[in-house]
Chains A and B, each alone.
Chain A
Amino acid sequence: MSGTFVGMPAFPVAAHEAVNNQTLRGNLRHATHTIRGKRAKAVTEVSDWAQLREAGKRIKDHTLRHLDRYLVQLEESVTAAGGTVHWAADADEANRIVTRLVKETGESEVVKVKSMATQEIGLNEALEAEGIRAYETDLAELIVQLGKDRPSHILVPAIHRNRGEIRDIFEREMSEWGRPAPEGLTDTPAELAEAARLHLREKFLRAKVGVSGANFMVAETGTLVVVESEGNGRMCLTLPETLISVVGIEKIVPSWRDLEVFLQTLPRSSTAERMNPYTSMWTGTTDSDGPRTFHLVLLDNGRTDTLADEVGRQALRCIRCSACLNVCPVYERAGGHAYGSVYPGPIGAILSPQLRGTGSEIDASLPYASSLCGACYEVCPVAIDIPEVLVHLRERVVEGGPVTREGNKVVLKPAKGHAAERAAMRAARWAFSHPGALRTGQRLASRTRRLHPRTLPGPGSAWSGTRDLPAVPAEPFRDWWQRTQGGKGGAK
């Protein structure tokens, strides 16, 4: 498996392969079902969940509405606290900035806290190309990096691997990257965690440069927050001399007090804990405690384009908890890789096509990677109406229309693959507005029903390839209604 998402096939093709992989389906089923029950229990513990969810939504909406103001305020407070703020309009610029900052330290390796933003921009590959080695230190990211694999979950990128597979990867690959796996390593999770501890410790203790993302940035105070479990985050945030944080511009909250909402909803939604083991908060630099130099890289990379979409902008409320992945019936069966993005699952299906546009085959197919059951909306701690955005993006793909790409307004052409669908919809519109024609058509269909094929011919075959055609009744509904006067008198 290659470590890149470039050139991914459309979702239906990738998903088709994934659902035939029995091990993958077993691993995903086990993991998602485990966390589902735990999350439900953790949420029931707080009686004001609905109010916290509404407050979280409103805080994010208010921030997005005044994002320019809060970005400037954040820049001022981070700078006042001793940090340096950089702005990156796209992935290339962010990678250039980080590479330059690392080179200025004279170091050729960095330790990394798990971060979706740096995954999104392909920072590790960019650093590698400049001769800088980036070590992932989150256990699941380590499994992905050692296995030359791709992440398949926002919170647990190695969720597609079971303990036996992880043991094999550790035994085979750890020696390539540093300290080898202990002799006679078994597949018990505690032993695997211990192997990761030993392997990474030497890297933490000698690290001079740390790279992170952040869960929240407080505009008022300039405080950054990283929420984690293992302590690898604390290692990367406090031991190195230089800290570089790459953070999406939508991660801002206006005030210190706003953290009281998200620190209650995020842990419960993601790992189903009352509180995650470690949360680090830092404001600029502190004398003789932690990094002496702190850089914050504010990343756009499609976020402002998403902000320009009236319906789609709500996706920017996302706090990356991954609750929507864990409840999604499509994700559970298809797995994360089929989504062709570092953001898989329901949130990925609305985020990736907005951040990257719907130009590629995979991005145009993502809004369809859903049964629209709505479970994702129900568990979302910031109430993102994912089904609403999915339908909106489907319309965008089929009909085309105005969108913003890299800050410019452009008009999308209707997607090619949907010509038959559009033709069918046009025909339906005509038929429903001509009652006489509709009646004649329905009667004709009823009389010839024994001759109907089981699959549609031509372009329609793609639709009927995965669906049963509905059986046509012997008598059209409208004829039945007229004959029986609406079923009165019990006539059949």
Chain B
Amino acid sequence: MSKDNKNKPTGNPADKLPEDAAKAMEATAASLQNLAAAAEGKAAPAPVEEPDDALFDFDDDDPLSATGVSKKSLVIFFLIDTSRSMVGKKIGELNTVMEELIPEIRRVGEADTDVKIAVLTFGTQVRWMYSEPILIEDFEWSRLRADGVTNMGEAFRELSSRMSRNSFLNSPSLSFAPVIFLMTDGYPSDDYKEALEELKQNSWYKFGLKAALGIGSEANDEMLEEFTGSKDTVVHAYSGGQLAAMIKIIAVTSAQIGSKSMTLSDDVNHELSEEEVRSAKQKLLGQQIQDSMTNLGDADAISLDTGW
């Protein structure tokens, strides 16, 4: 099926989120446009007039239309702690929310972006849910089980080895910098620091959008900040309800921000540098996450760790 014939949007990706958080996410697209314009010292651009679609209709009789067109691809990496401490409600809630999340992320890219998902779990063993990133349309969540210790450092090494043009990021179409989302309820069992330093040398990691979610009170904020490089992109969930809301907010918001172009590649007078784009996107993600968290407030303050 050709890309332009893909299903039309069937709803707002923020449908199932708390109202204020959903509004904050809806504002993301407009904020991105303004931020990009501001970075160039220009007013926000006027809407671009769409060309006559009929000119570009894919003719069913054209045999060459059999292969789809891709604009850009975005890989979202989920790094998920599956150590023993996650057993019970935590892993159960996480499985449920991830199953619900996939259709919501599916609507983010639509015709403009091929969104792919890669899930890396770490307990005693580090393993990928699929052995390569899978298009969101084809992705099916496999329910996770928790057991063993927290080999997060090994997960960082595995991630670094796969974030490469020769491995997971080998799509011919141009790639947005990936989204990397870490979820954990505790402190690493292994020596994660050295592995994190190695990961930080990876260009895809450097330019990627990073966010982290601490689950329960045992999760260590300092360590999570080391991972994301910013306080604003680290949040904590203390109950099942918060966990569900936060995973959705972070995943959908980062996918939205990650899949927006902020460069004018052929503007010969001023080209946004990769660093400017990375910095603007990461800053925006932090703002959006913090706004959404404020709006979440005490929506679900029933249980802390005892509630798991």
Tell me if chain B binds chain A: no
Chain A residues with CB under 8 Å of chain B are none
